Structure 1
């Protein structure tokens, strides 16, 4: 049985006449009659009462007509959905996020993409940068965000698109005397206790240390923390000051103020990263949104 046999039967059942059905289908009447007879033999039941004029469906024919229409309707639905999927209009995208991108560009990315593709399911997974790379290789996420690795450290199986460059700011308790300055030279922090965030949050522990040493001192680290919110809580509690990526300024934490670093600063380039061989239309539509929002080249 082929789909054309269903279409033939539906035409005959609706026209109640072989001649009219043949004209509608643009085929000759004898082959059409033969196809319907063969269909009845294959099913093992009479579908049409040929003795009546106009033709009448048997009880079995009425059931088969309903089911045949459902089959063709489901096929049409499958075709439409497949075409939509090929255009990236439906499907699912699993996005790895971290605090840097969540505090800066991610909200606008999500808002724009959802407006354009409301039927795509977006799944967000909060992971450290290193976890995102691992989950990309494991195919558990479709794209993530990381700092741009040095050229010799880049994975040949991944693609990287730079989207934003961010520098560091100083986070201070509101009661700190230096909060009256708009910019603070890093050397002014020489005698301050430091709350040092995880290397997953800032460029790296070593680079922070080197930056401070360039300013003439070695930071007095009194506490380390994994997440930004913990660092800010410690700063608000007067435990120490912190150097954090500039995106942290989007987090308004009571008891904390942010100040720019005067003079030499440390910056890093944030990239969106995905599997190079991934041809998912949904993924590439999301990348197009990112390129538009960040004016990044293809």
Structure 2
């Protein structure tokens, strides 16, 4: 039984007219007729008598109408209670962010928080994924975004992780390096100059895993902690690095850098908190907001 069918039944009974009922429901007249027909077929009861003047509630319909109205009233109470529970959630939420606001859909998540949980005060702290994880573990952050290789530290029992999406990363080389990287695997490409990142960064963890699997150590010529600096050094011809597919392809188009499509790795974007804090009001609100942003 469809709730919309019950709403159509009650609307027609109250209005006494199919056209006015359709207007109240913001539907077309044929759509409401189909809903009533579907409800009557599922119940095997004629709810209305068809007359030359239109629909008139039948004896059976008159008996069922109070029950249908009670169902709709209960639904309204259910939604009202749920809304009241949301508005009762209050407190301070300190949340860690990574990457860019657009990539993690931060704007959509915060809009959901403000609209549904107006009494939750959100404080944002930006940093690398490893830093966010350590701050969540220590309790300095209530929750946060985390980007890391699959089967990473967020799979530990003390962390609750909501996986949101995945990103593919390409090896990116300076302009004119196509012949230097062509046909090379991870073991061979390790000998070329690499731009490295700190241990807290996702790039660091992904590259360490790849080179460890290949049994080699990379030739590191520089280390930076900002994506913009990393890309700038690649464009300047200093060395290789990893970049998200969208960033790598855009830079290749605009700057002529080389994307090594054969050498890829991937990372999952998750939203995390301490496992024992899953029922905290502000933390639950944050998870609901992030889940809505990525729905």
- Mark the CA change 1:192 to 1:136 in structure 2 (over 3 Å): closer, same or farther: closer
| Per-residue deviation, 1:209 | 2.0
Which secondary structure state, in structure 1, belongs to the residue aligned with residue 106 of structure 2? helix
Structure 2 partner of 1:231: 230
Shift of 1:283: 2.3
User: In the alignment, which residue of structure 1 is the partner of 2:286?
Assistant: 286
Which structure 2 residues correspond to residues 104-123 of structure 1 after superposition, within 5 A?
104-113=103-112, 116-117=115-116, 119=118, 120-123=120-123
Give the corresponding residue for 1:204: 206
Q: Is the 8 A contact 1:194 1:221 kept in 2?
A: yes
C-alpha distance in 2 between matches for 1:220 and 1:294? 38
Aligned counterparts of 1:159 and 1:150: Cα–Cα separation in 2: 13
1 CA distance for matches of 2:171 and 2:220?
15
**Would the alpha carbon gap of residues 102 and 258 (structure 1) be closer, same or farther in structure 2, given more than 3 Å must change?**
farther
1:165 alignment partner in structure 2 = 166
Whether contact under 8 Å (2:195, 2:224) holds in the other structure is: yes
Structure having the higher Rg: 1
Measured in 2, the distance between the counterparts of 1:186 and 1:108 equals: 40
**TM norm structure 1:** 0.54
Show the counterpart of 1:97. Answer: 97
Post-superposition offset of 1:249? 5.0
Q: RMSD between aligned alpha carbons?
A: 4.0
d(CA) in 2 for partners of 1:230, 1:194: 13
Please say which of residues 199-208 and 232-241 is displaced more in the overlay: 199-208
In structure 2, C-alpha distance between the alignment counterparts of 1:135 and 1:152, rounded to whole Å: 13
Gaps of at least 5 residues in structure 1 are 1-82
1:19-51 CA deviation, whole Å, 9 max, x = no partner?
xxxxxxxxxxxxxxxxxxxxxxxxxxxxxxxxx
> Is contact 2:143-2:273 (8 Å) kept?
yes
Conserved 8 A contact 1:104-1:250: no
Per the alignment, residue 20 of structure 2 pairs with: none
Shift of 1:255: 7.5
The TM-score, its normalising length taken from structure 2, stands at: 0.54
Measure the CA separation in 1 of the matches of 2:249 and 2:97: 16
Equivalent runs, 1:246-265 vs 2, <5 Å: 246=245, 248=247, 256=255, 260-263=259-262, 265=264
Is the partner of 1:277 in helix, strand or coil? helix
